[in-house]
Structure 1
């Protein structure tokens, strides 16, 4: 059965001290033969000895100490257990929340060219109304069915965090295809709110739909080429293009109604293009 392996890492700077995963398994297929009916399995985690002391700052986040990893295996040993187990042939993709972190830490040789899914990028696109798109905040915003709170604790440990992410991914797959999620992962994030200049709104930001067109054009013009602003530029360009499409459709609607009036035909209710086409087919 096809499975997506959701990965989470706990780190100390550039060293991995724990890796955990939770699998999402497809139990059915849709009419096109694509995997569907995804179910979350219980995960696993492995401590990793980084070969050097763990900094107090890092331990303060995940509570993993030198004593915890003293008898743990190396990264290579842990990676073999995660990426080369007997279920590895069924893996069709890997996933993580804010996937850049995992991609930067894990050599692509381990994932063998299989695609990644970023649940953060999927969530900001499909659920822009969420007050926060952090991994744990999405859990309480979505309240996914079937999530066991005991398995979701403690936070900032690899297995519980991957377990939470797996439920976010399951819900994303109810609204989008795996292909779409992979595509969005390869693009900058489509941000839900603008937090630039007068649109900061006390740090809460302003929905991009409420940002003036002149501001969208300014962001594209001034911030293009700045890697730290690629998400803002991508989002501004998306909304600007959408407005141009909406304007074009509105113009076409008005022009169609004008032509109907000139031909002495009544303006159809609803969508004039669709309804007029239906009228023509009935007259035949």
Structure 2
């Protein structure tokens, strides 16, 4: 019988369309009988034919060539086997999982729950200065991470391998249920990320500044400011409704 597992996913893409994936990588994190989590040997990557030429700006990030994906299967053929492996998963995971979820839709995943390691890192390691996948790697230096297996960055398998080390440590600090709960909420930023108050903890802002952030279009900014207002016993003003289609200026 297979141990309980969470499968970490990373995608490289050739555009923002639902089938524009050009590579998928995965790394499993499994739970031993003593309750501790570890990386498993189950990992891999597959190239995917996006059905059109890869734009130069995205090629410059991941360096995947059209000639490499020309004979690869399409996303609809690749996705189910990776996202719904035999034996199932407790959840899927990714760093900033909202990106992967744009392509790994419930039709492909069978409706699996997702863990966002970015959102969870914000909660458990708020003292860190940056929360990108690679910055977490070098700030934290996770135990057992083989440097060469995590390279090159911006390729699906190495990035999934790095993310899996963050996930393992998150799971060994708190419960799967807690990570899932945090992952359905916006990111709770430990500090103000932009503007004249950049770098300040939210508790150092006055109520007026917090209310301004609570009206921002960015969900993480709104949620972080609202959380501090609630901590003070206040009630955030509702964010203004956005038009169905924004006016371009």
TM-score of the two chains, using structure 2 as the length reference: 0.86
Aligned length: 228
SS of residue matched to 1:24:
strand
Deviations 1:219-249 (A, max 9, x none): 33xx1xx5x322112111212222349xxxx
Match of 2:221 among 232, 249, 253: 232
CA-CA distance at 1:150 after TM superposition? 1.4
How big is the alpha-carbon RMSD for the aligned residues of Structure 1 and Structure 2? 1.7
**1:187 aligns to what?**
185
Q: What is the match of residue 26 of structure 1?
A: 31
Relative to 1, partners in 2 of residues 1:54 and 1:196: Cα closer, same or farther, differing over 3 Å?
closer
Q: Deviations over 1:169-217 (max 9, x none)?
A: 11111222111111111111101211354303xxxx2122322234223
Please point out which of 115, 120, 131 is paired with 1:133.
131
C-alpha distance after superposition, 1:77-119 (max 9, x if no partner) = 2213313433xx2411000000111111122112112210000
TM-score, scaled relative to structure 1? 0.76
Unpaired stretches in structure 2, ≥5 consecutive residues: 235-249
- Unaligned 5+ residue runs, structure 1? 30-35, 246-284
Q: Structure 1 residues 168 and 127 mapped into 2: Cα distance closer, same or farther (>3 Å)?
A: same
Higher relative contact order (CA 8 A, sep 6+): 2
CA deviation vs aligned residue, 1:113-161 (integer Å, no higher than 9, x gap): 2210000000111112212100011011111111111110111000010
Q: How far apart in 1 are the matches of 2:220 and 2:195?
A: 16
Q: Segments of 4+ in structure 1 off by > 4 A?
A: none
CA gap 1:79/1:219 in 2 versus in 1, 3 angstroms: closer
CA 1:241–1:27: 2 relative to 1, 3 Å? same
Aligned residue for 1:22, secondary structure, equals: strand
Distance 1:72 1:218, change over 3 A: closer
**Within the alignment, does 1:151 sit opposite 2:149 as a pair?**
yes
1:241 aligns with 2:238: no
1:190 match: secondary structure: coil
Q: Distance in 2 between matches of 1:105 and 1:90?
A: 19
Distance 2:33 2:208 in 1: 48
Counterpart pick for 1:4 among 1, 6, 21? 6
Distance in 1, Cα, partners of 2:71 & 2:8? 25
